[in-house]
């Protein structure tokens, strides 16, 4: 059963022991159901934790406010990242979970990146699909070789290739173990995203570390 926590969410327990759970973070207009099929594809048997963003943009759920396309409300990003980190702590206690690996798309990838900046202990790593630099400051703490996969699109009309490359550089300079791939695609997800994410997670998610 899904516990009553601070975010509306879906939880699917693991069917394969030892795999890191996934924190699934949807894009604008998605909800807690959107990325469950992706999670099942990229990490078969892993526990899946999928919250719904609390911000509404014209009725479309998001994880933080923006002022315009690609222009973030930075104070809201900070507040919402900290709020999401608290939810992760609640969920880990409620479901007896190891630290999750975030798999985020678009707005969800951006809030996952913000977690890496502000609350890196909340995550065991991250798959950032079409992410942008979330905040102007550098990450607050050493990321201690935390694994991060960034997949960006060379024809993405929303995320400039330079911005995704800068995110990879900033996280790497903070100590994360970053792999960045630029795919010949736009903002939407492709089969290559699924394949590369699964390959990366096969290495990064087992065995899961508690703590």
Instruction: Write out the catalytic residue numbers.
Output: 106, 156, 187
106 φψ region: left (φ > 0), alpha (ψ -120 to 50), beta (else): left
Query: Distance between CA atoms of 175 and 208, rounded to whole angstroms?
Result: 20
Query: Distance between CA atoms of 138 and 60, rounded to whole angstroms?
Result: 29
Query: Distance between CA atoms of 196 and 145, rounded to whole angstroms?
Result: 20
* Contacting residues for 189 by C-beta, under 8 A, at least 6 apart: 38, 105, 129
């Amino acid at each position: 059963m899904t516990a009553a926590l601070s975010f509306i969410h879906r939880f699917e327990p693991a069917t394969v022991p030892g795999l890191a759970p996934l924190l699934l973070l949807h894009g604008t207009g998605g909800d807690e159901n959107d990325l469950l099929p992706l999670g099942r594809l990229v990490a078969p048997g892993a526990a899946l934790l999928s919250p719904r963003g609390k911000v509404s943009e014209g009725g479309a759920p998001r994880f933080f406010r923006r002022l315009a396309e690609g222009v973030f409300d930075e104070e809201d990003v900070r507040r919402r990242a900290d709020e999401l980190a608290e939810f992760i702590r609640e969920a880990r206690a409620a479901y007896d979970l190891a630290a999750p690996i975030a798999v985020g798309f678009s707005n969800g990838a951006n809030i996952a990146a913000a977690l890496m900046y502000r609350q890196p202990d909340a995550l065991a790593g991250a798959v950032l699909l079409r992410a942008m630099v979330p905040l102007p400051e550098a990450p607050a703490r050493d990321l201690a070789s935390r694994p991060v996969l960034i997949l960006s699109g060379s024809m993405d009309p929303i995320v400039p290739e330079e911005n995704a490359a800068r995110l990879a550089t900033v996280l790497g300079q903070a100590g994360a173990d970053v792999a960045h791939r630029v795919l010949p695609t736009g903002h939407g997800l492709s089969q290559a995203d699924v394949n590369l994410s699964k390959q990366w997670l096969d290495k990064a998610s087992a065995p899961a570390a508690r703590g």
